[in-house]
């Protein structure tokens, strides 16, 4: 559901209306590349119930107890922890200048920013980037594969699911010797992230219509495509039927012209 809400927030304009790079939501609304739809819908409903009865109430309590500056510091801290993932994947994608900038962000925020609690790098003009191994595989030409809804983790696909494994191993808390501390960090990060997406979750319920599963699926696909191409995805190819006339044999066109043209020996009037 975090993935669903995060996807929804990124796919809405300032007025809360769905938007995509192509101007229409649903690049694959005919259901292509979703062979596991039965399983996916079951997982989607399961995730909705987990969010409704567990995660969302805890996130509301978290927001009510902690003031905004504290929550902002927590968000900055976990964002900084994920910078090594961004740096590694920027390098793997050949974005060396960006990787240097991301490394500078990590150093400045870890030191001057008190372990990332304060985002001093952004104030210094260093842009925050979002890279993961699923995007890297996409850059390498790996297809997304069938759409897949993961339990607890939300919308994904076969390629991005494989990328999650690499991202998990790159995430510093994964390798902490004290497992209880690691688990507390992961739980805090999840609750904090959900608290940031409370409004997006409400918009999802309002904008998704009668079938939120389709809405989330197509929004996720569009968002991942935009991330892989850094916000400039190639324009979709026009339908084949637009070129049916051009594909007619030259002989047919010639015959038609002959029928319409007068004989060359006809008298001139």
Average pLDDT, the chain: 83
* Predicted confidence (pLDDT) per residue in 138-162, tens digit: 999 999 999 999 999 999 999 999 9
pLDDT at residue number 249: 57
What is the model's pTM?
0.74
pLDDT tens per residue across span 25-36? 433 444 578 999
Residue 266's CB is within 10 A of a number of other CB atoms, namely: 7
Share of residues in the chain with pLDDT > 90 (%): 64
Cα angle for residues 175, 106, 163 (degrees, 5° grid): 50
Q: Which residues of the chain have pLDDT under 50?
A: 1, 8, 10-30, 256, 269
Q: Are 170 and 263 in contact (CB under 8 A)?
A: no
Ranges of each domain in the chain = 2-8+39-257
Beta bridge partners of 12: 18
Token couple for 56: 């969302």
| Distance, CA of 216 to CA of 44 (rounded, Å) | 10
């Amino acid at each position: 559901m975090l993935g669903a809400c995060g996807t929804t927030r990124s796919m809405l304009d300032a007025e809360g209306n769905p938007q995509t790079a192509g101007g229409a939501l649903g690049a694959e609304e005919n259901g292509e590349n979703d062979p596991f739809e039965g399983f996916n819908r079951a997982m989607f409903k399961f995730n909705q119930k987990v969010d409704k009865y567990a995660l969302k109430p805890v996130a509301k309590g978290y927001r009510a107890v902690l003031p905004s500056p504290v929550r902002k510091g927590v968000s900055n801290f976990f964002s900084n922890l994920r910078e090594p993932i961004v740096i590694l994947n920027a390098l793997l994608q050949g974005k060396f200048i960006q990787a240097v900038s991301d490394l500078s962000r990590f150093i400045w925020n870890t030191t001057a920013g008190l372990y990332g609690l304060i985002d001093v790098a952004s104030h210094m003009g260093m842009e925050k980037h979002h890279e993961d191994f699923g995007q890297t595989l996409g850059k390498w030409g790996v297809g997304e594969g069938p759409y897949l809804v993961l339990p607890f983790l939300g919308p994904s696909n076969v390629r991005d699911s494989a990328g999650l494994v690499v991202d998990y191993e790159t995430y510093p808390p994964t390798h902490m010797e004290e497992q209880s501390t690691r688990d507390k960090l992961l739980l805090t990060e999840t609750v904090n992230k959900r608290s940031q997406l409370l409004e997006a979750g409400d918009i999802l319920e309002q904008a998704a219509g009668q079938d939120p599963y389709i809405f989330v699926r197509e929004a996720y696909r569009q968002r991942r495509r935009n991330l892989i191409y850094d916000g400039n995805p190639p324009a979709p190819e026009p339908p084949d039927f637009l070129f049916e006339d051009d594909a007619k044999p030259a002989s047919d066109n010639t015959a038609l012209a002959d029928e319409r043209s007068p004989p060359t020996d006809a008298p001139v009037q």
